[in-house]
Amino acid sequence: MKFLLIIYILLGLNCSSSNALVRPRSGTASKSRTIPPTAVTGDVTANFESECSLDRPQLSAVNVIVFYTASSSGFTFLPPSPDITLFQLHSLLPNGTVFDVFIPAEEAVITTVGEGSSGDFKGTNASWTGSYDLQHYKIEVNSPANGVVGTFNLRSLAPGHYPCGPVRSGESMMVAPEIGWANAVPDGDADVDFTLAGVKVAFKGVGYHDKNWSDQVFTNNVASWYWGHGRLGHYSIVWFDTLGTDGKEYVSSFVSKHDKIIVSSCDAGSIKVRPSGSSPYPPKISTPNPSGFMIEIDLGEEGVMNVEVTAEAISTAADGLYTEWVGTMTGSVNGGEKMTGVASFEMFKLTN
Ligand SMILES: *[C@@H]1O[C@H](CO)[C@@H](O)[C@H](O)[C@H]1NC(C)=O
Ligand SMILES: *[C@@H]1O[C@H](CO)[C@@H](O)[C@H](O)[C@H]1NC(C)=O
Ligand SMILES: *[C@@H]1O[C@H](CO)[C@@H](O)[C@H](O)[C@H]1NC(C)=O
């Protein structure tokens, strides 16, 4: 499952840019911003360089919030609505039926403390609380009227990061042209306890939290993209391999072990993600989905990690343009001991 936020607001936080590699201490002053439910007109300014709080909102107006929570969960394109402050929960129920709910909020109050954030979506009875050091997130929902009651607890096992490096000031937050991305929890232990449409959905599993933002239309900049995350042995892995509409490839790799970053890079060649089998690269709208992906990651001094990702089930799909899967991984470093694990991953193919 994953817990994904797409929040759009710019907070002019002041902070010192030194000691950025140190985890923030508690007692850091908090800042709040209230976001009205309707889209603003006029210019929206996106922030693409990190300043001081990884999980603070990053645009001057909110467009959407998405909470994904389930072992197989995914991103769906949003239904048309004048409301921009929305809570979404998308889950596969044990009987295989998809449960998908959108609850409009009267307004959203986002508070940042240290690197973390908390959010109260007024009128939805849904909120999240994040710790200042990105170590814990808790989502609480109490909306029997919408068939959603429960909690989601996430304890981080991997340091938060940006597309090209660790959490510190001055880092680029652009993962692809005009698309900002911050990965607060690349891997974590999740404890999920929900009742959805009267069905108990409770388990412990792998959790994740990121968010992305843009001041431009997604499809204007992205021709295709592969993203995913998973746990392979003791390694936590996050990958991005995007082909821009400009014909260039944009990548971001992240591998950590025992809560220490081994690599976090957006250098060309730091990672390569390609579809498995006979599925072509670059993918087109008309080409078939792959059965999985082959990933090669440069770990620097540790060598090269090779990962084979196999799709087990589709958690979300939209018109051949977007697919999200849950699956398994096998892999090794420098051809050594074979490791196994689980993954959640997606593909956009938006051009022909
Ligand atoms: C699965 O469970 C949900 C919730 O009880 C129910 O609405 C749905 O009809 C069920 N689907 C099937 C295929 O039984
Ligand atoms: C939120 O909780 C209140 C109090 O229990 C309830 O009256 C209201 O209907 C709930 N709102 C939603 C959206 O479920
Ligand atoms: C944001 O990123 C998540 C994965 O990190 C992905 O599921 C989603 O499609 C992205 N959306 C946009 C508009 O970039």
- Ligand 3 pocket member 191 (CB < 6 A): no
- Report helix, strand or coil for 218: helix
Report domain extents, the chain: 1-218, 221-352
The mean per-residue pLDDT over the stretch 75-89 comes to 60
- Ligand 1 pocket member 97 (CB < 6 A): yes
- Report helix, strand or coil for 301: helix
Are residues 175 and 210 in contact, defined by beta-carbon separation less than 8 angstroms? no
Least confident range from 66-80, 103-117, 155-169: namely: 66-80
Q: Which residue has the higher pLDDT, 234 or 50?
A: 234
Q: What is the pLDDT of residue 17?
A: 27
Q: Which residue has the higher pLDDT, 277 or 49?
A: 277
Query: pLDDT-based confidence at 200, cuts 50/70/90?
Result: confident
Are residues 97 and 111 in contact, defined by beta-carbon separation less than 8 angstroms? no
In CATH, which of 2.60.40.1180, 3.30.450.80, 2.40.370.10, 3.90.1150.10 is domain 221-352?
Answer: 2.40.370.10
Q: Which residue has the higher pLDDT, 238 or 25?
A: 238
DSSP state of 154: E
Q: Whose CA is nearest to atom 4 of ligand 1?
A: 197
The mean per-residue pLDDT over the stretch 219-235 comes to 93
Are residues 179 and 48 in contact, defined by beta-carbon separation less than 8 angstroms? no
Burial (0-12, 13-18, 19+ Cβ within 10 Å), 295: buried
C-alpha–C-alpha distance, residues 238 and 184, integer Å: 12
Q: Which residue has the tokens 């044990």?
A: 94
Provide the residue type at 214 as one letter: S
| Ligand 3 atom with minimal separation from the 222 CA | 14
Query: pLDDT-based confidence at 316, cuts 50/70/90?
Result: confident
Cα 66 to ligand 3 centroid, rounded to whole Å? 10
DSSP state of 302: G
- Of all ligands present, the nearest one to the C-alpha of 220 is 3
Q: Which residue has the higher pLDDT, 111 or 254?
A: 254
pLDDT at 309 over 50: yes
CA neighbor of 55 nearest in space, from 23, 7, 109: 7
What sections of 183-232 are H helices per DSSP?
Answer: 218-221
The mean per-residue pLDDT over the stretch 114-125 comes to 89
pLDDT at 110 over 70: yes
DSSP state of 219: H
- Ligand 3 pocket member 322 (CB < 6 A): no
C-alpha–C-alpha distance, residues 240 and 252, integer Å: 5
Q: Which residue has the higher pLDDT, 257 or 28?
A: 257
The mean per-residue pLDDT over the stretch 29-49 comes to 58
Query: pLDDT-based confidence at 1, cuts 50/70/90?
Result: very low
The mean per-residue pLDDT over the stretch 318-326 comes to 86
Cα 7 to ligand 3 centroid, rounded to whole Å? 12
- Of all ligands present, the nearest one to the C-alpha of 197 is 1
pLDDT at 16 over 60: no
Q: Whose CA is nearest to atom 7 of ligand 3?
A: 75
